[in-house]
């Protein structure tokens, strides 16, 4: 009898909760913080990558720093087009770095949102990150790839920000050399 009673009590509790919901409980907020770069704990959620994994000589770091405008995440490093001698990888050029979030516990549901916003201060280079969820662009090694993939905003596994020595928008700084971007936060927005 106690098993039946436990099931009955769980059902009763769920019914009470459903009857006390307010409309605002059913509508998600218009914005949702995904990452807030204001503590060293935030860094544990990210993994750095670069062409050095394939024989390139680029390097990157991610730190929390007081930038004079508050505590921010600082993604910085050096882009190099050179390739190390004797690399086991058959690459002829390099020049990319990035930061990728570690996988969420399962996934993050962003179905109620239509945009990813980043508050950052750049250095004149083009940084690649997917912003409008409806126009998701897959990237690999700092470049947008032409692939027929569809984004499922209710099952987002991770996010990334990358920089490439070549390419970018007209007028952007390109070529080898240092890069630096200060990141305040990343959040999801609902515009409608």
SS (H, E, C) 7-29: HHHHHHHHHHHHHHCCHHHHCCC
- 8 A C-beta contact, residue 32 and residue 113: yes
For the chain, the domains span: 32-189
pLDDT of residue 187: 92
* Residue 44 phi, psi dihedral angles, 5° rounding: -65, -15
Q: What is the residue-level pLDDT of the chain in tens, covering all 192 positions?
A: 566 777 777 776 766 666 665 555 567 788 999 999 999 999 999 999 999 888 899 999 999 999 888 899 999 999 999 888 877 777 767 899 999 998 777 788 888 888 888 999 999 999 988 675 555 556 665 566 666 666 677 777 788 899 999 878 889 999 999 999 999 999 998 877
What pLDDT does 124 receive? 94
CA distance 112 to 192: 10
User: CB-based burial of residue 22 (10 Å sphere; 0-12 exposed, 13-18 middle, 19+ buried)?
Assistant: exposed
Q: Is 52 helix (H, G, I), strand (E, B) or coil?
A: helix
Q: How far is residue 141's CA from residue 139's CA, in Å, rounded to a whole number?
A: 7
Nearest 5°: phi and psi at 89?
-90, 140
């Amino acid at each position: 009898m106690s098993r039946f009673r436990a099931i009955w009590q769980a059902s009763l509790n769920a019914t009470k909760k459903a009857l006390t919901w307010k409309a605002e409980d059913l509508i998600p907020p218009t914005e949702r913080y995904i990452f807030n770069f204001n503590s060293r704990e935030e860094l544990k959620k990210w993994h750095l990558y670069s062409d050095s994994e394939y024989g390139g000589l680029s390097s990157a770091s991610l730190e929390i720093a007081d930038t004079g405008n508050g505590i921010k995440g600082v993604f910085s490093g050096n882009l190099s087009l050179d390739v190390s001698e004797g690399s086991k990888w058959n690459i002829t050029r390099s020049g990319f770095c990035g930061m990728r979030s570690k996988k969420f516990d399962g996934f993050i549901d962003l179905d109620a949102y239509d945009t990813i916003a980043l508050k950052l201060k750049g250095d004149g280079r083009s940084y690649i990150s997917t912003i409008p969820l409806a126009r998701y662009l897959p990237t690999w090694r700092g470049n947008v790839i032409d692939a027929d993939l569809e984004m499922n905003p209710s099952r987002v596994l991770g996010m990334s920000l990358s920089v490439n020595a070549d390419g970018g928008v007209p007028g952007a700084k390109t070529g080898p050399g240092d890069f630096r971007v200060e990141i305040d936060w990343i959040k999801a927005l609902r515009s409608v």
